[in-house]
Structure 1
Amino acid sequence: MVRFGYTILYVSDVEKSIEFYEKAFSFERKFISPENDYGEIISGETTISFASKELARTNLKEGFIESRLTEKPFAIELGFITDNVEQTAKQAENSGATIIESPKQKPWGQTVAYIRDIDGFLIELCTAIN
């Protein structure tokens, strides 16, 4: 059996990134390693993890493409379901996020917005699909 356990974001500052997610989305910190190079937050059924770029380089000898706000986002997003997309987007923006697409209602009734976190990762904020 295979199950999806976590997503790891490679970031410059694990502590700072976790603090952003705590403030922006009210997620809880699960832990941060004593070396401050890895940490996790409690975000629902799937854990969001953070690894320092330095730690990631030790695991990926050929390197990786870094997420940067000055570049277009990767072709992947984190999806966060919320009852109030507008309020969540504003809270995230006040915590340092960049609004990419303001909340809009889709033809199927779902409200969706797109933001980027402080490390440049793309996040979709949306209401549940009924």
Structure 2
Amino acid sequence: MIKYSYTIMYVANVEATVKFYEEAFGFMRKFLTPEEDYGELISGETTIAFAHLDLATSNLSKGYQQVNNEKPFGIELGFVVEDVTKAIEKVVQAGGKIYEEQKVKPWGQTVGYVLDNNGFLIELCTAM
């Protein structure tokens, strides 16, 4: 059996990113190395983790595409929230950006898209 355990995102400043996710989403810090090159959040069953760009370079000998704040990758983190408007406001206050204004989908779900402080795409949505 395979269990999805964690997502690691490579970032320029791990501590600042952990702080952003604490402020924007209320996640709690699980772990941060003394070198501040790797950190994890308590986010439910699946851990959200951040590693410094230097670790990406050492782990990925063929290279990788670094995230930017202009156009996100074709992947997103999805967070279910009770109030999308309030969740988006917290992201912006923490230093994130609105990528797509919230909309109500034909099936009744409210969905909005934001970028974190690195440019990673996050969907904020109500439960289906």
Distance (whole Å) between structure 1 residues aligned to residue 9 and residue 28 of structure 2: 16
Q: TM-score, normalised by structure 2?
A: 0.98
Structure 1 residue 34, shift from structure 2 partner: 1.4
Structure 1 residue 43, shift from structure 2 partner: 1.1
SS of the residue aligned with 1:63?
Answer: coil
Structure 2 counterparts to residues 70-109 of structure 1, below 5 A:
70=70, 72-109=71-108
Question: Which residue of structure 2 lines up, in the alignment, with residue 6 of structure 1?
Answer: 6
Structure 1 residue 62, shift from structure 2 partner: 1.2
Structure 1 residue 13, shift from structure 2 partner: 0.4
SS of the residue aligned with 1:75?
Answer: coil
Structure 1 unaligned spans of 5+: none
**Which string of whole-angstrom CA distances, capped at 9 and with x for unpartnered residues, describes residues 46-96 of structure 1?**
1100000001110001110000003x1101000000000000000111101
SS of the residue aligned with 2:66?
Answer: coil
Distance (whole Å) between structure 2 residues aligned to residue 8 and residue 63 of structure 1: 16
Distance (whole Å) between structure 2 residues aligned to residue 35 and residue 12 of structure 1: 13
**Which string of whole-angstrom CA distances, capped at 9 and with x for unpartnered residues, describes residues 4-46 of structure 1?**
0000000000000000000000000001011111000011121
| Identity level (%) | 53
User: Following superposition, which runs of at least 4 residues in structure 1 exceed 3 angstroms of deviation?
Assistant: none
SS of the residue aligned with 2:2?
Answer: coil
Aligned length: 128
Distance (whole Å) between structure 2 residues aligned to residue 42 and residue 105 of structure 1: 29
Question: Which residue of structure 2 lines up, in the alignment, with residue 28 of structure 1?
Answer: 28
Distance (whole Å) between structure 1 residues aligned to residue 102 and residue 115 of structure 2: 14
Distance (whole Å) between structure 1 residues aligned to residue 28 and residue 83 of structure 2: 19
Structure 2 unaligned spans of 5+: none
Structure 2 counterparts to residues 48-59 of structure 1, below 5 A:
48-59=48-59
SS of the residue aligned with 1:114?
Answer: strand
